Amino acid sequence: MNLIAAVDKNWGIGFQNRLLVRIPADQQWFYQITKGKTIVVGRRTLETFPNGLPLPSRRNIILSRDLNFQIKGAQIAHNVEEALALLAVYQSEDIYIAGGESVYQQFLPYCDVAHITKIEYAYEADAYFPRLDQMPEWELTGDSEEQTYFSLEYSFLRFERKKS
């Protein structure tokens, strides 16, 4: 499975249930890499999507502890085990864990690849992505040329879990 996130220089991903910044090229990259695939997000992350709805052109699995939560265009799982059961019918490389913080933490042990947009700026954040650069089991295997959006510099990174 894959993780996909945009992080600031401190690995922050959000503040008050919002993305830290929206970079059009990053959003386009997210669209291209996840189109036709399966994404897993928490209910609060779903609320940050356009109109709070599941993303089109993807299979959406939403994690919610609310046993009554339902939304058209998505499957609902109430815990990691239920989500893994729903994901079992898909190819692992076609699954993208897309947030938020607790969902990333819960699914990290099941993932082998992380697609990270690393923004060279420190925002005020209250949600964070696991610091893969400090985890010995993960290694940086890809780094794009530096990109610029107005005065923001960022790059697309690829981390892979080391084979044991």
| Domains with residue ranges and CATH for the chain | 2-161 (3.40.430.10)
Give the angle 134-124-22 at the CA atoms, nearest 5°. 90
Confidence of residue 8 (pLDDT cuts 50, 70, 90): very high
pLDDT of 56 higher than 80: yes
Give percent above pLDDT 70 in the chain. 100
Question: Which pLDDT value is given to residue 156?
Answer: 98
- CA–CA separation, 139 vs 134, rounded Å? 9
Question: Which pLDDT value is given to residue 160?
Answer: 98
- C-alpha R_g of the chain: 15
Confidence of residue 4 (pLDDT cuts 50, 70, 90): very high
| E strand intervals along the chain | 2-7, 12-15, 18-19, 38-42, 59-63, 74-77, 95-97, 113-119, 127-128, 138-143, 147-149, 152-161
Q: What is the pLDDT of residues 70-119, one digit of tens each?
A: 999 999 999 999 999 999 999 999 999 999 999 999 999 999 999 999 99
**Contact partners, residue 145, CB within 8 Å, separation at least 6:** 155
Q: What is the mean pLDDT of the chain?
A: 97
In the chain, the amino acid numbered 8 is D
Its pTM stands at 0.96
Confidence of residue 164 (pLDDT cuts 50, 70, 90): confident
Distances (CA, A) of 71 to 9, 45, 60, 114: 34, 14, 10, 27
